[in-house]
Amino acid sequence: MVKFHTDDFYIYASRGKTAYLAERKRDLLQLFDGKDLGPVQTFCGCTIDRRVDSQGRNVMAIHLQHYWHKLFKKAGLDPHHPKATRPIAEKIDRRCCPPEVDAARRSKFLMVLGSIMYGVLHCRFDLVFSAFQFARVMSNPAEKHMDMLMTFLAYIRTTVTFELKFYEISDERKAALLEHFTFYIFPDSSHGDDEATGKSTAGHFMFLQIGQGCVNGISHLRKWVGLSSTESEYMEVTDSCKTAAFSLQFLQELKMFKRVSFEVLEDSKPCISALHKDVTQSKFRHIHLACHYVKECIQAGWCIVTKIKTTEQVGDLATKALPGPAVSKFSKVVLGNGIHTTVIPGTEVVG
């Protein structure tokens, strides 16, 4: 006999399966002591708000407003701290770290940053770049870093009403997706921007559908130095393909769709040109073999790579300290702006 303990757990079913869902809940409650708490309202501290928007669409919005307000008070954020129009104005410089650690400063820095990380990874993917920039100096932050972190917190207070949104799609669109489900990923790399190591900051955002909220966002420092901007971009395209391939196989296992594929939206023309090259060519074979995984994904029919305009590269939000207007524009995309396009603007497709 196997015994196990559980607290809360959630049961999901597609619309139209409510009767089936009710039957399964009755079965479980006959077997085990429990209580049906009804539709989910909170999960891991996140508030889940279901409503109808101004266009008559059903929307599920996820936010952490109550959590953020508690953090502002706990961190001692000055109520009169100037409003911030962007989360970070410049990249973190590790050379500013003091020769000796200030224990009190580090303790507060870790508390604030750790709390921010919790919110970022739950429903504020638009903040991944800034959060992971600060993580680079969390073992020995300077006073300048502490001031920048509080400004970051002030930006979160300015945008505290931001929500991660998912929209119900039309029956016509659902039928098309059941035939061929395509999801999207925006990779980007900022070549050699870490002055201490010469490594590149890279990242990507993944969307199950354009217009919906992001389901995966990451910003990180590459493990090895790229010898050119093309190589740095190519390496991040490969990493994003690995992430997408895992999701693709999971979606295939659900057996909901006849076909599943993903589209990589890349703004680097040289990077896309590199996908046409033979990996044995002398100018290209130096790139780590692991980085040619993207070619296998294309050949297997799992994905295509599409050229997009640099001004439409959402991945920039994961790799650069952007100006306020760009931050606002891409944050809306990452959190779900509700605008669906059946054709992604592009000039070239590989695959």
pLDDT at position 342, please? 47
pTM of the model: 0.86
With a CB cutoff of 8 Å and minimum separation 6, the contacts of 190 are: 200, 201, 202, 232, 319, 320
Cβ(147)–Cβ(139) under 8 Å?
A: no
Cβ(330)–Cβ(317) under 8 Å?
A: yes
What are the chain's domains? 1-168 (no CATH), 171-350 (3.30.420.10)
pLDDT at position 253, please? 93
Mean pLDDT by 10 residues, the chain (351 residues): 66 76 86 82 87 89 95 92 89 88 95 96 95 93 95 95 92 90 94 83 94 93 82 88 93 92 91 72 58 79 89 92 92 86 48 47
pLDDT at position 230, please? 83
Task: Please tell me the distance from the alpha carbon of residue 334 to that of residue 139, in angstroms, as a whole number.
Answer: 30
With a CB cutoff of 8 Å and minimum separation 6, the contacts of 4 are: none
Edge-to-edge strand list for the sheet holding 58-63 = 42-43, 46-52, 58-63, 164-167
With a CB cutoff of 8 Å and minimum separation 6, the contacts of 241 are: 185, 264, 293, 294, 297, 303
